């Protein structure tokens, strides 16, 4: 008997002062049986940090990465169905990142494990030639603190100002120090 996904719902109030994006989002997320609360909250954080200000170039959606090997954690498709932004959560392998970066406009990776710097160091020389790849690290103690915000029904507030990120649920708040491990010079300010 196959295990089924657990459905989570989140109401998110976003105040991204850095990008001038202010909005409320109602999202439904299918959590794979092998996914942890930590990874689920990192996916939600990646969603809020990359949600476009408007849908002129398509909307950001949760994909089926743990169910479908050919899908990311999140993606933004334009109105023709072409993938404009591919977002991975975790530590994807080099071949996957090279293959995807040749087919899409932007690729972002949000890693959160304590081993992330070691993982990136082993791939860095081969992946820094890509011009559309950004690698972000959330310190492990902060991603673990985010996990405490998980619940089947969540009311979350996310504030981004001067590169500092806060995510909270009204009673607890976690400051996230998002670190760039790699970003091409022309995309330095894009998450």
**Per-residue pLDDT at 187 exceeds 70:** no
Domains in the chain: ranges and CATH: 6-187 (3.10.640.10)
Query: Which of 107, 26, 101 has its CA nearest to residue 73?
Result: 107
- At 177 the pLDDT is 96
Q: Output the pLDDT for position 124.
A: 93
What is the residue whose two structure tokens read 């009204």? 170
In terms of phi and psi (left: phi > 0; alpha: psi -120 to 50; beta: otherwise), the region of 6 is beta
The confidence score (pLDDT) of residue 190 equals 52
| pTM score of the predicted model | 0.93
pLDDT digits (tens, 9 = 90+) for 114-171: 999 999 999 999 998 899 999 999 999 999 999 999 999 999 999 999 999 999 999 9
Distance between CA 83 and CA 79 in Å, rounded?
9
pLDDT band at 69 (very low <50, low <70, confident <90, very high): confident
CA torsion 134-105-63-26 (nearest 10°) is: 80
Burial (CB count within 10 angstroms: exposed 0-12, middle 13-18, buried 19+), residue 162? exposed
Please write the tens of the pLDDT for every residue from 22-65. 999 999 999 999 999 999 999 999 999 999 988 888 899 999 98
Q: What integer pLDDT is reported at residue 3 of this predicted model?
A: 76
């Amino acid at each position: 008997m196959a295990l089924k996904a657990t459905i989570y719902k989140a109401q998110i109030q976003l105040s991204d002062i850095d990008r001038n994006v202010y909005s409320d989002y109602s999202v439904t997320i299918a959590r794979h049986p092998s996914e942890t609360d930590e990874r689920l909250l990192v996916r939600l954080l990646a969603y809020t940090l990359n949600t476009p200000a408007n849908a002129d170039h398509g909307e950001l959606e949760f994909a089926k990465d743990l169910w479908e090997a050919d899908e990311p954690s999140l993606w933004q498709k334009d109105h023709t169905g072409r993938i404009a932004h591919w977002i991975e959560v975790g530590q994807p392998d080099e071949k996957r990142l090279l293959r995807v970066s040749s087919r899409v406009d932007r690729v972002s990776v949000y890693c959160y494990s304590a081993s992330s710097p070691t993982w990136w160091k082993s791939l860095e020389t081969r992946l820094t030639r890509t011009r559309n790849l950004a690698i972000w690290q959330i310190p492990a103690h902060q991603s673990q603190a985010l996990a405490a915000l998980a619940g089947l029904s969540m009311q979350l507030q996310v504030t981004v100002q001067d590169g500092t990120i806060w995510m909270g649920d009204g009673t607890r708040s976690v400051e996230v120090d998002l670190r760039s491990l790699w970003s091409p010079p022309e995309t330095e300010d894009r998450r």
